[in-house]
Amino acid sequence: MARALDVVGERWALLVVRELVLGPKRFTDLAAGLPGLSQNVLSQRLRELEDAGVVRRARLGPPAGSRVYRLTERGADLEPVLLALARWGARRPVPDTGADLSVDALAFALRTTFDPAVAGDLCLRATVRLDDDVLRLDVRDGRLDLARGEADTPDCVLTTDPATLRALAFGGRPVAEAEASGALRIDGDRPAALRLLRCFPRPTPVENEPGAVRTGAERR
């Protein structure tokens, strides 16, 4: 543990890794996904992770041709560690900060809270369009596979934004209200899409956590 923390124990290091689990990103995209992190500290963390063999720089092929950061094989090995930490942290009451989740953080939250018992016999392939980003979700046999990109022949397509999806999945926002406001559009198999949104119950919060405020949904 001590040797591992020598590599990824600095503040923000694991969150930088989290932002790269779904694929490579430019520096500006990393900064946008971690709004509380200064660009100087982000540069420092990336250098440290590169030196440790966790992250490497690369160039995307045409037509993009952008310089990006991506996880090495050693860095990708941290994914189950991140998921375990996310499940552990999900039991803390949610601080009422009003801060939005990045798409990558939201994807981790979905993977962390997915409940096979709630999913039951649901078999679904979905595309979720979140502003300029796209996720594909495949649910079958009580398992959730989630990745960046369009699903092949999706059963349904949800078009929304990260804050709305977070509120629908975790905050108890009514689907009909989100649709009426224009924040959500469902195309395709609507009943299956509604079942999908119910597959992410929040874990029971740890009692007596200091410094955190429960959301209205948690108080209910």
- Two tokens at 36? 């509380």
For residues 149 and 136, is the Cβ–Cβ distance under 8 A?
A: yes
Mean pLDDT of the chain: 88
Domain ranges of the chain: 2-87, 98-197
The residue written with tokens 């860095």 in the block is 75
From the first residue on, what is the mean pLDDT of each consecutive set of 10 residues in the chain (220 residues)? 91 95 92 91 96 93 79 95 88 63 89 93 95 93 93 95 93 93 96 95 70 43
Task: Please count the other Cβ atoms lying within 10 Å of the Cβ belonging to residue 193.
Answer: 21
Tell me the residue type at 40. Answer: N
User: What is the spatial distance between Cα 68 and Cα 81, in angstroms, rounded to a whole number?
Assistant: 23
CATH of 2-87, one of 2.60.120.920, 1.10.10.10, 1.10.1740.10, 2.40.128.110: 1.10.10.10
- Two tokens at 95? 């601080």
In this prediction the pTM is 0.80
Question: Is the domain 98-197 a CATH 3.40.50.1100 member?
Answer: no
The residue written with tokens 């796209």 in the block is 134
Asked if the domains 2-87 and 98-197 are classified in one and the same CATH topology, the answer is no
For residues 50 and 56, is the Cβ–Cβ distance under 8 A?
A: yes
User: What is the spatial distance between Cα 34 and Cα 165, in angstroms, rounded to a whole number?
Assistant: 19
Query: What confidence tens digit (pLDDT) does each residue in 22-54 have?
Result: 999 999 999 988 988 999 999 999 999 999 999
